[in-house]
Structure 1
Amino acid sequence: MPGGSSLSAESVRRIRLRRQQLRAPHAGGPADVVRNLLAVQSQEFPYARWTLAQRSSAGSSPVVTASDVEQAVADGTILRTHILRPTWHFVHRDDLGWLMGLSADRLHQGNKGMYRQTGIDEDAAARSGQILAAAVADGAHKTREELARVLGGAGFPSKGLGFIYHLMHAEISRVLVSGSPVRSAGGALKQTYALFEERVPGFLTSPLAGEDREQALGQLALRYFSSRGPATVKDCAVWSRLTMEDVKRGVQVAQDISPGSLGALLLDGLEYYLAAEEVDTLASGDHPWTTADPALPRIDLIQCYDEYVMGYSQSRHFLGGTAPYFPEDNGPMHVVLLDGRLAGWWRHGFSGGVCELDVRMNRPATAQEQAALQTEVDRYGRFLGMDVTLV
């Protein structure tokens, strides 16, 4: 096992960028990104589309666009729902069944206080779930506003926390999941809900137990540390909302699922897990991420809930700053990375058919850094399919 002095903070960042596919080798498309990362935080949907696109065959032609990501969500290849933590995530449809089986009980347990506050007991949840299921059955995907009218007409809350938690309960209970987004009359993209069983093949309605749960723990640990390592057990536990004991057991099972897939190293007195091939390369002394990169400086505009940020807790300090940032003039603002370190903030706005990027660097950019920023701005324009200007 390599000692702590073998791996610098810069090397940690470079390995993470590569394993998360913000650096080559990139994913073939949005669905492959989600398969690699397992779950991708996505409450800011317009920016979450970019999270998937910027990891997909970057620099290749054709460019992965916002419409490509929207289509993957529309056809159900990528689903968006509350999972792991009480917020939205993108998950591949092939993974959502077992991942929800692993996650649902802890989510319901975490929501118990809000369920009591909003009057959602077992009977009320069962009745609203049946009403919601009937409303979206046979492909009749509905927007939140449409479901509000459905629930309101049946005597349930149609707004406020009561409405929100009835919907969330139905998602966690595998009644609802994301449907095909629709455009409003004004052109805005609106999310819809669909019937879980129509979008997720072969899912189990009961919580995972026994050997099934063991295998799910192993799969989660394998996918998390392979895509986000170097990371600690606590990083994974906070990200997944599993216990530390569950994550440790998952690491053990992962070695049975895929022998030799994960390795470990010590850094600053903590044990980090990562893909074994990275440890082997490091031990051999042939690790390109410690050498000078002629492509640097490199600017990445990532969303503040990107997995490069939210995938870590105990070791988030490698980011070099705190995110997200909520300025007084509306928020949140998203993260500018300079060679993998937080270097500023950004967000987009639209006016007259042009996207305006508000970018605020922590210090004045050099000429090389400004050129790198412009390269990333141009890439964002290709993703949106429209002109982008720097404010």
Structure 2
Amino acid sequence: MGITREWVLRRRMATQRLTSSGLPEPADVVRLLTCVQSQEAPNAMWSLGMRTRGGTDDGVRAAFDEGQFLRTHILRPTWHFVAPQDLRWILGLTSPKVLSSMRGHFARLGLDEDVAARGADVFRKVLAGRTALTRREIAPHMEAAGLPHKGLALGDLHLMNELHGVIVSGPMKGAQHTYLLVDEVVPPETPLDRDEAVARLVHRFYAGHGPASIKDLTRWTKLTQAEVRLGLEILGDRLERVEVDGTPLWLDPTVPARTAPEAPRAHLLPIYDEVTLTYPALGFPVAPDHPRGPDADPWIDPYASTVLVDGLNAGTWKRAPGRGVARIELKLAAGLTPEQVKAVEAAADRLAAYLGAAREAFVT
């Protein structure tokens, strides 16, 4: 059926629980979205918190430290949050392609599969018994084994072993991330047939991110278009196909996606949030007087995040330094109405409440 762009954007917001009822736990959000990009971990935790009923920064961090959801390199060559029960089958499906695509990069750092395997032996020795160690604490053990022990090479040795399913995130140690052995925190499971895994990932993506296109999915997961079409064929009528501006989109009609009457008008979306990052071709319209310009060029300030109000990309926000206070710098389109500015300030209040801090928002 033919539909409007506005309907697509509203449904995505509701599907992702930004304008519909929040989910009970942060791990429920991770399961809904399947993988949540998280190289900026504090911002990614806000992505979970804003979709969770009564979510707080302390609560999301506690759930992470308890292992209710994990952080690792998965799906693409960057960090994502993922549920423990989804780790193995997604790695099995997507890691070979990620590793293959990075082979030249690894070679320039002196890394290959033999080095990765030797590193795996070190990880299994020093992390045994759920011993959570930071990268800095692991480095001397790598050095003693004659393996890369600093800089990018050490980081990518970790990355390779994450993609191989040897190590995964552990609880935070202060401000530092730790690592644990996958085999000690994730139960074993029978590997899926590849076609079954493709169909499952296709379904999960459209259930948590729909309405979305095939190109949205191939960008998100690096599956080929042929693989996505195979998944769609296997799924049959479990997904609904709609069309906007001549582009076919898919969604799971069984996923709750009703905008709540009390839904907020404005959101301070974290950098790399799934509702903006996922859809480069059909995203939120940009205010003509956006502070980044009419195209909202992210390179003007790549660390500023999106202010969304009434479905319009209307500015940017950043959290400025400040102990015990949520100092939120807002750069808004000049054409916003006073009511829209108040809605943005209410969004800043929600972020402050999530952080458990006093809110100080200022517009520049």
**Of residues 238, 258, 263 in structure 2, which corresponds to 1:261?**
238
CA distance change for structure 1 residues 371 and 155 in 2, over 3 Å: closer, same or farther?
Answer: same
Match of 1:351, SS state, is coil
The one-letter code matched in structure 1 to 2:298 is Y
Residue 306 (1) aligns with residue 273 (2): yes
2-structure distance, mates of 1:31, 1:121? 34
Match of 1:192 in 2: 178
**Of residues 155, 162, 170 in structure 2, which corresponds to 1:179?**
170
- Structure 1 residue 277, shift from structure 2 partner: 5.0
Match of 2:127, SS state, is helix
- Structure 1 residue 77, shift from structure 2 partner: 1.3
The one-letter code matched in structure 2 to 1:48 is A
1-structure distance, mates of 2:33, 2:94? 16
Deviations 1:49-93 (A, max 9, x none): 110010112xxxxx2111111112111110000111111000011
The one-letter code matched in structure 1 to 2:75 is L
Contact 1:301 1:376 in 2 (8 A): yes
Contact 1:137 1:195 in 2 (8 A): yes
2-structure distance, mates of 1:227, 1:190? 30
**Of residues 10, 13, 19 in structure 2, which corresponds to 1:17?**
13
* Structure 1 segment 1-391 matched on structure 2, within 5 A: 2-3=1-2, 7-57=3-53, 63-183=54-174, 189-203=175-189, 212-255=193-236, 260-276=237-253, 298-313=265-280, 315-318=281-284, 320=286, 325-327=298-300, 331-391=302-362
Match of 1:304, SS state, is coil
CA distance change for structure 1 residues 203 and 174 in 2, over 3 Å: closer, same or farther?
Answer: farther
2-structure distance, mates of 1:26, 1:288? 12
- Structure 1 residue 346, shift from structure 2 partner: 0.9
Q: TM-score, normalised by structure 1?
A: 0.85
Contact 2:19 2:264 in 1 (8 A): no
Match of 2:329, SS state, is strand
Contact 1:42 1:88 in 2 (8 A): yes
Deviations 1:105-131 (A, max 9, x none): 011111101111111122211111111
The one-letter code matched in structure 2 to 1:146 is E
- Structure 1 residue 350, shift from structure 2 partner: 2.9
CA distance change for structure 1 residues 326 and 149 in 2, over 3 Å: closer, same or farther?
Answer: farther
Unaligned runs of 5+ in 2: 287-293
The one-letter code matched in structure 2 to 1:213 is R
- Structure 1 residue 223, shift from structure 2 partner: 1.1
The one-letter code matched in structure 2 to 1:381 is A
2-structure distance, mates of 1:356, 1:70? 21
Contact 1:324 1:334 in 2 (8 A): no
- Structure 1 residue 217, shift from structure 2 partner: 1.1
1-structure distance, mates of 2:250, 2:40? 29
Contact 2:276 2:283 in 1 (8 A): no
2-structure distance, mates of 1:137, 1:307? 34
- Structure 1 residue 25, shift from structure 2 partner: 2.9
Deviations 1:302-333 (A, max 9, x none): 112010112223x34445476782446xx511
CA distance change for structure 1 residues 297 and 351 in 2, over 3 Å: closer, same or farther?
Answer: closer
- Structure 1 residue 247, shift from structure 2 partner: 0.9
Contact 2:20 2:258 in 1 (8 A): no
Q: Which moved more, 1:109-118 or 1:344-353?
A: 344-353
Match of 1:90, SS state, is strand
2-structure distance, mates of 1:109, 1:266? 35
Unaligned runs of 5+ in 1: 58-62, 184-188, 282-286
Match of 1:60 in 2: none
- Structure 1 residue 386, shift from structure 2 partner: 1.1
Q: CA RMSD in A?
A: 2.2
The one-letter code matched in structure 1 to 2:181 is L
- Structure 1 residue 176, shift from structure 2 partner: 0.7
Contact 1:297 1:368 in 2 (8 A): no
The one-letter code matched in structure 1 to 2:199 is G
Contact 1:309 1:323 in 2 (8 A): no
2-structure distance, mates of 1:155, 1:343? 52
Q: TM-score, normalised by structure 2?
A: 0.91
Q: Which moved more, 1:354-363 or 1:172-181?
A: 354-363
CA distance change for structure 1 residues 97 and 221 in 2, over 3 Å: closer, same or farther?
Answer: same
